[in-house]
Amino acid sequence: MLAVISAYDLKYIELEELIDTLNKMFNTITKLQKWNGHLYNWYNTKTLEPLIPRYISTVDNGNFIGYLYTTKQFLIDTLQKNIELNTNSVRSEDHDYPQTTQISQMIQTIDDIINNTDFSILYDHKKHIFSIGFDVEQNKLTNSYYDLLASEARQASLVAIAKKDVSPKHWHALSRTLTSLNKYKGLISWSGTAFEYLMPNINIKEYEGSLLDEACRFLIMSQMEYAKRLRITLGNIRSGI
């Protein structure tokens, strides 16, 4: 979704192609079987049937809903521009704007998907953190948890709090354990990859001087140091910056 929006912003495609492509995406998404509103991890791309084992990923659905919020805001802005264009144009039968209706319908579809996706069912209310997912075949949460703030999963946490599926206390339950390098300190993640630290920043505003801002800067410094020690270029680091 964001790739298509970016293509439009960069003027690779026109509004008509943007709307058509997003519409096709949403038409497919609405057809997919879901579990408490969540998408399964894997589907057969021809039949759209969930693949076995059926599994619900907390982080992947959190990212998905986060991107839906971003897409929704883009569509709201585009709709407003379209309305202003209609208002300022001469109206006639030959001068119609079907995009307005299509965009409005997509916004409603996004709202329905967001509202129907329940994150509370993936939450351990005793630990105040999220399980990594739900195994549908075994009918239970996976006994492994997203317990670090410096993680790809923080977008799922923020989304769940914004939707009021979980309490804001969850954010404070995420670990802020620090490590150090070259007299600097930063948050640890599961694996130390740039992906875990930086990916959520696509959607989540990063405030300069904040703990997460400092953690991301620390991560970049750490990977540069790692590259120097191994005498390799940053482009060859698997996790990449």
Mean pLDDT per 10-residue interval, the chain, length 241 residues: 97 96 98 98 97 97 98 96 76 62 96 98 97 97 96 96 97 95 92 92 93 95 91 61 44
Phi, psi of 138 (to 5 degrees): -95, -5
pLDDT in the model for residue 192: 87
Residue 234: per-residue pLDDT: 60
Q: Which domains does the chain have, with CATH numbers?
A: 1-89+96-175 (1.50.10.140), 176-241 (no CATH)
pLDDT at residue number 135? 98
The alpha carbon torsion through 9, 14, 17, 18 (nearest 10 deg) reads 20
pTM over 0.85? The answer is yes
Closest CA to 200 of 131, 133, 148, 128: 148
Token pair for residue 92? 């006639």
Confidence at residue 85, expressed as pLDDT on a 0 to 100 scale: 79
At residue 94, φ and ψ (nearest 5 deg) are: -85, -5
**Confidence (pLDDT) at 241:** 44
Question: CA 206, CA 215: separation in Å to the nearest integer?
Answer: 11
Q: What is the pLDDT of residue 82?
A: 83
pLDDT (0 to 100) of residue 236 = 53
pLDDT computed for residue 180 by the predictor: 93
The predicted structure's pLDDT at residue 98 = 75
